Amino acid sequence: MKLTIFGTGYVGLVTGTCLAEMGNHVLCMDVDAGKIARLERGEIPIYEPGLEPLVRRNHASGRLAFTTDAAAAVAHGDATFIAVGTPPDEDGSADMKYVLSVARSIGQHLGRYAVVVNKSTVPVGTADRVRVEIAAAMKKRGADIAFDVVSNPEFLKEGDAVNDCMKPDRIIVGASSPRAINLLKSLYAPFNRNHERLVLMDERSAELTKYAANSMLATKISFMNEIANIAERVGADVEMVRHGIGADPRIGYHFIYPGTGYGGSCFPKDVQALERTAHANGYQARLLGAVEAVNRDQKRKLFDLIVRHFDGKLDGKTVALWGLAFKPNTDDMREAPSRVLMEALWQAGARVRAFDPQAREETARIYGQRDDLVLCEDPWNALEGADVLAVVTEWKVFRSPDFARIKTLLKNPAVFDGRNLYDPATVEAEGLAYYGIGRGRSVAAAGI
């Protein structure tokens, strides 16, 4: 099948590459000429495990191509995927300008029947808006060509996106046209060999399903952080509580890890956008507002613990950070808890020495050269000259460190474990102070 993908970010590039891997001929279009040139040279603009060899192999085979020519892209596709960004607008709602711009381009150039697939995370009702935009653009040029618009939201986890795309747990298709449904059934047949994963529904239900899924996961995270904050105050250990409730199959263990809050390009944006959608339709989504409020506060948790440890005197202190990306296996710094922590430390007069396996370059791009920020080549170098250590991202390389070595390198030996990676007793036995999230024993020592 000939497929066109508008957008070469996380969603567009991963989706296009995986569809090419299944034998389709995919043309990825982007307005960023520099990005397209890099892709043509085999350079991947994002870090995503397993993606680079797939892109290079399919590009070399001729199944995956790149262009900045919108007319050629529209002419190519039996199905055209819209996979551009929907960043939060000033009021928290999804900014639809990129999606609607693609819709107009499709209307300006469409010359035969095609299925237009909304892959971007979009507000309920977007399929209707895209349909109107395409029809209006065609009317301007006096064309009357049949097309269908469907909703096919992505469910890709950054850091595991290739696996999620190749082995999806479900394929949501919102469509009312039998012709469009049959085309997507054919397209996704290779992904359904083990068992039927395709779930058919109407367009608006599919659009809401994506927002509901991300908001549910964000809610679990904020709920567990609430429990962690209660555990601190009553002298309980949230990790024991987590095991106790996770054993209930109605709850399960997924997404009940307390920490420094969620970040990235999806959860914060989607929770806010769904809340705005509810408000625009006359409903106050109080729970969604609370989820976001808890998350905003939780991102300051490590900073508050560090402030208490130093009795509020951070001026001139140096804090080592392990982890900058919002989660492991990505270089994405969008809404990352590390950014909140670093900016608060700088405001208080502290310096930062940081290491992350992938996100150092992105951090340098965001913050530039600063006297109070040193980006280190390895985790141990980050500890040199530092007073304390804060673990912000749960990369595997941080999970079993040499605590004795940590103690010798730190001037004021203390570990602030933002992901509860370590056993408090083990850390304390090596002569370090330990502060975790919701670990009643350790925070009690801080007088909380």
So which residues are the catalytic ones?
266
Q: Following DSSP, what letter does each residue of 240-298 receive, concatenated?
A: HHHHHHHTSTTT-STT---SS---SSSHHHHHHHHHHHHHHTT---HHHHHHHHHHHHH
The Cα 337–Cα 343 span in angstroms is 10
| The pair of three-digit structure tokens given for residue 26, joined into one six-digit string | 């995919």
Helix residue ranges per DSSP H, 299-423: 301-309, 337-347, 360-367, 379-383, 403-409
Q: Is 257 left (phi over 0), alpha (psi -120 to 50) or beta?
A: beta
Residue closest to 375 by CA, chosen among 404, 405, 409, 338: 338
Sheet-wide strand order for 414-417: 373-375, 351-355, 318-322, 388-391, 414-417, 433-435
| The pair of three-digit structure tokens given for residue 142, joined into one six-digit string | 């006096």
* Secondary structure (3-state) at 9: coil
The Cα 337–Cα 264 span in angstroms is 9
Residue closest to 162 by CA, chosen among 54, 60, 62: 54
The Cα 385–Cα 390 span in angstroms is 14
